[in-house]
Amino acid sequence: MDDDTILYRITSLEGFLSLVLNRQERFVRPIDCWEDTFEGYMLHLLDSDEGIQRIIGQLYEISGKDIEATIHNFAKMQRSRYACYGICWTRLRDSDAMWRIYSYDKKAIQIVSSKKRISEMLELASLDKKTFEIKTVSYDIEDEQSAINRILNRSSPVDAAYFHKRPAFKHEEEVRVLIHDVKMYRNAEEFSVQAIKAKYQNTDISKSPTKRLYDAISAGKTREEYLKLGGKERMISINDLDSYISGIRVHPQAPKWYVEVIEKLCAEFKLSFEGKSDLYRAVVKKE
């Protein structure tokens, strides 16, 4: 994906007003806020003791029963589950499916930007390039094993789980922006490989490696403590709306009065108004 790739995001009137009035973009923790229950496959398992034990067992087998590699991947999953925040865009300017799914009673508003504009907005908000990722989603998760193979290995990035989805969602042509809360990493030592290894060394050596690792992880913070550390959302300040947003469009079936209201709002905030989507425009037959 080139830096100049145009990207689109559909939001509600409330979301649009929050964006332009507060000059902030809202990023959310995927597992807690995105509706697809298959999002971030396996990360949901971190929310229960039984799930954690299952993850440890699978990571241990995948790593060839290498305990250090298992710890490395588990720490990465913790960071992905609790300290990553995202927002979704698409490469589709007009999609019947997308306008219908995100209709907001035919008052949806489409924000137009680009990979370059989004990246520059995040950098101006003092986010280091190493702390955010803008990537196209791959629709290649067929089953549990394919998810494991694609996202759970030593070389995969922390946020890998959020860039792979099932083929059923291919119509979205989605591009996601993920930011990593590095401050939260520092506040939760259990996220580090070194911290887990240290706890592992103090566990009962008569137990199996996976049981010892479970004991080491259980000695850390609880799920509730992790959730309190981060919160479900991150608000990123926007220094220049005009540089971030290249255009604004309105739902193709929005009433005339509503289109006029959004046009006035755009004029007030010096945003380029591109009018109503013409996806459902009337076809006039030639005489």
Per-residue model confidence as pLDDT tens digits over 13-34: 999 999 999 999 999 999 888 8
* CA neighbor of 129 nearest in space, from 178, 77, 187: 178
The domains of the chain are located at 6-276
The pLDDT of residue 37: 63
* Contacts of 66 by beta carbon, 8 Å cutoff, 6+ apart: none
The pLDDT of residue 221: 74
The pLDDT of residue 126: 84
Q: Which two tokens stand for residue 30?
A: 């995927």
* Contacts of 74 by beta carbon, 8 Å cutoff, 6+ apart: 55, 56, 59, 196, 213, 217
Q: Which amino acid is at 203?
A: T
Q: 232 phi and psi, to 5 degrees? A: -85, -10
- Could you give the CA distance from residue 86 to residue 30 in angstroms, rounded to a whole number? 6
* Contacts of 238 by beta carbon, 8 Å cutoff, 6+ apart: 19, 23, 24, 25, 121, 124, 125, 244
* CA neighbor of 12 nearest in space, from 113, 105, 85: 105
* CA neighbor of 107 nearest in space, from 10, 251, 216: 251
- Could you give the CA distance from residue 229 to residue 189 in angstroms, rounded to a whole number? 12
Over the range 1-37, which residues count as b (16 or more CB within 10 Å of their CB) and which as e? eeeeeebbbbbebebbebbbeebebbbbbbbeeeeee
Taking the whole predicted model, whether its pTM rises above 0.75 is answered as yes
Cβ pair 96, 251 in contact under 8 A: no
DSSP class of residue 163 equals: G
- What three-state secondary structure class fits 235? strand
Q: Which two tokens stand for residue 12?
A: 């509600």
Q: At what angle do helices 209-218 and 49-62 cross, to 10 degrees?
A: 130
Q: Which amino acid is at 245?
A: I
Q: What is the pLDDT along the chain (287 residues), one digit of tens a residue?
A: 898 999 999 999 999 999 999 999 999 999 888 876 666 667 888 888 998 998 899 889 888 999 998 998 888 888 888 889 999 999 999 999 999 999 999 999 999 999 999 999 999 998 887 889 999 999 988 777 766 666 666 567 778 888 888 898 999 999 999 998 887 777 666 677 888 999 999 999 999 999 999 999 988 777 777 777 778 899 999 999 999 999 999 999 999 999 999 999 999 999 999 999 999 876 555 55
